[in-house]
Amino acid sequence: MATQLGDGFDVGGIRLDRPFKIRRLGHFGFNSRNMNAAMHFYRDLLGFQVTDTLDFGPRAKDPSDLEGLGDTKGYFMRYGTDHHAFVLFPHDVRKAVDYNTTMVDGATMNQITWQVGSLREVRAANDWFSEIGIKVDRSGRDIPGSNWHVYPADPDGRRNELFYGIEQIGWNGLSKPKNMYEQKFMQAPELPYMSEAEEVRIARAAGVEMDTGTNSLDQGAAEFDVGGVLLPRPFKITGIGPVGLFAEDMPEVLRFYTETLGFVPTETVHWNGQDCHFLRCGAEHHSLALYPMSLRADLGLTDWSTNMAFGVRLNDYAQLKNAIAWLQKKGVKIRYFPHELFPGMDYTAIAIDPDGHAVQLYCYMEQIGWDGRPRPADQRRVIDNDNWPETLDATTDSFAGEQFMGPWG
């Protein structure tokens, strides 16, 4: 249980309205109807590296349920040291084994995952959601990935996840062995729980070979000079998010993300007669953007998904331009949306994945200071999507915000 105070909760010695605080977007995932093409897009073109797989085949009650559906595995991928930042699951396979009908039409994102500050916050969130009547799909621990989690769904049926303690991938590129743990973790943990160091000691004592995990080092031919490092593509992903969602019932969805999950409104933009809401969990202008469902058709996006955009941050403006040119040569469709829809983000481009999902390529996010106020709109850069300049003048926060840690490749 969280420490309940008279008018809030004690979260690490800070009084809050809920027993947890979301710090950042940890990972995100799509379900795909064309896994081969989607893997080529996310792994070979964008550069996410496969750290582990999860086979949905054994979940079938009858093997015939999966006939003709192709690869039954889901793929966990990284761009940095977190075990996974992006997850790709086979939609048709998951649908075939969804015997309890938990998958919601339009919710093609298999998870929208937010990091909180401690294992205690995960457990407290699980208990609190139950107390206030928020539906939780499941709680426990990711295997693979090792992160403890709880999964609340938003009013449109999209699965959010709050987590702590994701596995880290080191210089040798190896994930944990698949037999690292002797059990599945299908419920919230009893606290306090043992440290990861103790888990490693137990596994070694049990004879688990620690060098048998998946090797996720990029195997592509390194032919591009990217900031002085040879890489297989002319850019490097250095962050993910924001997440953009279309909302069917905007008041209810907005209430869930602000009042239940604790996101802070930064800015509201009025576009095409509709209000779009931009919410943050840290210093970035927004980590989450909510758009009215009616705008989906206006933007020409697939009606298969309620995803508006999944943000992928590149290291700098030069890499962003190089990425756009290179991806276009590889046959990727690139689109440009009205810049008013992305306040605080300067230049962005939309790469359309094989399932029609929009992936937002960008390199800059406005930072919010202690007073919580964004930069006034009239002081922002004027964006002309038809004429991107060769270079940009620096702003006060051009290189502010969370930095990528470690080597690029």
Q: Is the peptide bond before 144 cis (omega within 30 degrees of 0)?
A: yes
For range 167-191, the mean pLDDT:
91
The residue type found at 406 is: G
The pLDDT value given to residue 156? 97
Question: What band does 371 get if pLDDT is binned at 50, 70 and 90?
Answer: very high
Residue 104 to residue 305: CA distance in whole angstroms? 10
The CATH code of the domain at 3-218 is 3.10.180.10
The pLDDT value given to residue 183? 77
Mean confidence (pLDDT) of the chain: 96
Residue 224 to residue 236: CA distance in whole angstroms? 11
Torsion, Cα of 118, 147, 137, 106 (10° steps): 110
Tokens 């995960």 belong to residue = 122
Backbone angles phi, psi at 392, to 5 degrees: -120, 145
The CATH code of the domain at 229-379 is 3.10.180.10
DSSP annotation of 289 reads E
Q: Are 243 and 288 within 8 A, CB to CB?
A: yes
For range 13-32, the mean pLDDT:
98
pLDDT tens digits along 196-248: 999 999 999 999 999 999 999 998 899 999 999 999 999 999 999 999 999 99
pLDDT tens digits along 260-278: 999 999 999 999 999 999 9
Q: What percent of the chain has pLDDT over 90?
A: 93
The pLDDT value given to residue 220? 87
The pLDDT value given to residue 3? 60
Q: Name the residue ranges covered by the structural domains of the chain.
A: 3-218, 229-379
Judge if 3-218 and 229-379 fold alike in CATH terms: yes
pLDDT at 1 exceeding the cut of 60: no
pLDDT tens digits along 280-306: 999 999 999 999 999 999 999 999 999
Lowest-confidence pick of 80-94, 177-191, 240-254, 351-365: 177-191
